[in-house]
Amino acid sequence: MKPRHVHVIDAIWNLNHQAESPTPVARVSGISAFLGVTAPSITKLVNELVGKGLVVKHASETDGRAVTLSLTEAAEEIRELYVHQFHEHLCGVLSGIDPQDAATTVATLQAMHRLMGADRGGEWTTQVADAWPAHVETLMAGDESRSHTATKQ
């Protein structure tokens, strides 16, 4: 199992669980967007996972062209093991960081993410920003000096 397979498994799991739907909703296009990888690459990986018995393809009941994806129990176990091991590893690596330093870093990265998204004018920026803590909004409120207005002369 290659790391890219685990990433696809994790993306399928996340897309299906975020939708809170009784039927699978994950599609190649969604996985492609989730991972930032081209659709043909995802199709190849999905087909490999189907061949390994880790992913199941489902024909859409409403659109004959669409295929949704779900994980087998074995894939769920692989994902759980991966996530658990990854979090255990991170806990060990990051245990020496002061909690206040970590909070400051998170707030800074979130502010940078928001500014970069606003600069691109993406609709997703608003959706993601809605989930951020209120104190990040406070940091960004009224700070127009960070915009590109200085370059418009």
Question: Can you give the pLDDT at residue 148?
Answer: 39
Express each pLDDT in 86-121 by its tens digit: 889 988 998 999 999 999 999 999 999 888 876 665
Helix, strand or coil, per DSSP, at residue 141 = coil
Give domain status of residue 27, yes or no: yes
Are both 56 and 16 inside the same structural domain?
yes
- Rounded distance, CA 26 to CA 85, Å? 25
Place of tokens 């390994």: 52
Q: For the domain that residue 51 is a member of, what is the CATH number? A: 1.10.10.10
Question: Can you give the pLDDT at residue 101?
Answer: 93
Whole-model pTM above 0.85? Answer: no
- Rounded distance, CA 97 to CA 32, Å? 34
Are both 9 and 35 inside the same structural domain?
yes
Asked if residue 43 has pLDDT above 50, the reply is yes
Query: Domain span at residue 90?
Result: 3-94
